[in-house]
Chain A
Amino acid sequence: MNWTVQPIQNAIALCRGDRGLLADWIDAARKGSIRCCLLLITLGCAAYGFTVGLRNGWEMGAYVAIKLPLILLITLLLNGLLNGLLGLVLGSGIGVQKSLQFLLVGVAIMAVILGALSPISFFATLNTPSSGDGSGRYAWHGASLLMHTLLIAFAGIVAHARLLQYIRDFADSSRAGTFAFFAWLAGNLFVGAQVSWNLRPFFVSPGLKVEFLRPDPFNGNFYEAVWVAIKNIT
Chain B
Amino acid sequence: MAPLLQVDNLTIRFPRAEPVRDLSFDIGQGETLAIVGESGSGKSLTALALMQLLPRAAKVASGRIAFGGRDLLKLDAREMRHLRGRDIAMIFQEPMTSLNPVMTIGRQIAEVLKVHERLSGRAASERAVELLKLVRIPAPEKRVDDYPHQLSGGMRQRVMIAIAVACKPKLLIADEPTTALDVTIQAQVLDLLDTLRRELQMAVVLITHDLGVVAQWADKVVVMYAGRKVEQALPGDLFNNPLHPYTRGLLAASPRLKNDFHYRDGALSEIPGSIVSAAGEAGCPFRPRCAQARASCGHHVPQLTVPAPDRLVACPFTSPIKAVPHAAALSL
Do A and B pair up? The answer is no
Which B residues are closer than 8 A to A by beta carbons?
none
